[in-house]
Amino acid sequence: MRRERLSVVANEQIGPYTLLRVRRGGIEPGLPGQFFMLEAPGRLLPRPMSLCLALVGELAFLIDPIGPGTQALCALEAGEQLHVLGPLGNGFDLDVERPLLVGGGIGIAPLPYLWERLGRPPAVLGFRSERHAEAAALVPSAQVCVEPTLVTELIPAGFDVLACGPEPMLEAVRAVAPAAQLAWEAPMACGYGACYGCAVEIDGVLMRLCVEGPVLRAA
């Protein structure tokens, strides 16, 4: 893990989300599904964000401005700087035979990078509205659905599922694809195992998602 102060290249609006592009500096993009702690200007704690795109010389993060930290990140302008720590945690296992990407809402954030690294496999993405679904443009070949259709209705049999989305979606994916790799989310103060804040129950034991995950096997 490495922490550097990086410059903002641009903040681009995609539907209700913002794609924050920063210069890469000396920070490696890591594996898809790994995450970074982004300094949120004016806030005490950084925010965990998975890498959305590894552009040439850049790192890009898809952010949903739902609270004071994410809103501060989305308000950054080109040339401003922020501390970035990472890559952190365990990403997706890329050694899969028939990958299918499954994403829901802001949970599609790590999928564009994963899609590129896996050679542009099939993907199914679900959103709550047409406006949110504009973010599907980040995974150009994806099949897209909008509520009330649920993304789990689009998962064909026989694929190695790699998924990220809200907890109910991941639970539904787990039910139809027991061998899936699932990227979970939890509030984190540090992202590197120090705060014990991101505890989730794994096999009946509370474990730190930042150390054991965020990508976990469904079974």
Partner 1 sequence: MLLNASGCLDALVAPDVARGLDAFVTKTVTPLPRDGNAPVRIAEMDVGMLNSIGLANPGIDRFLTRMLPRLEQLGVPLWASVGGFETDDYADLCSRLDDYASVSAIELNVSCPNVETPAESTAQIVVAARLATRKPLWAKLSPAVPDIGEVAKAAQAAGADGLSLVNTIRGLKLDPRTLRPALGPGHGGLSGPALKPVALAAVATCYRATGMPIVGMGGIRTGLDALEFIAAGACHVAIGTTLFADPDAPARVRIELHAAARERGWTTYEDAYAEAHREALSVRTT
Question: How many residues appear in the chain?
Answer: 219
Strands (E), the chain: 2-14, 17-23, 35-38, 47-50, 58-63, 81-88, 99-104, 123-127, 143-146, 160-164, 181-183, 199-202, 205-208, 215-217
**Residue with smaller CB distance to partner 1, 88 or 102:** 88
Residues found near partner 1 in the complex (CB under 8 A): 1, 3, 37, 39, 43-46, 68-69, 83, 85, 186-190, 192-200, 205-206, 211
- Shortest distance, CB of residue 63 to partner 1, whole angstroms? 16
Q: Which residue has the tokens 């909008």?
A: 146
**Residue with smaller CB distance to partner 1, 46 or 103:** 46
**Cβ proximity of 40 and 83 under 8 Å:** no
**Residue with smaller CB distance to partner 1, 102 or 198:** 198
At 53 the three-state DSSP class reads strand
Conformational region of residue 86, where left means phi above 0, alpha means psi within -120 to 50, and beta covers everything else: left
- Shortest distance, CB of residue 160 to partner 1, whole angstroms? 29
- Shortest distance, CB of residue 146 to partner 1, whole angstroms? 24
**Residue with smaller CB distance to partner 1, 67 or 178:** 67
- Shortest distance, CB of residue 190 to partner 1, whole angstroms? 4
**Residue with smaller CB distance to partner 1, 85 or 136:** 85
- Shortest distance, CB of residue 218 to partner 1, whole angstroms? 19
Neighbours of 111 (CB within 10 A): 31
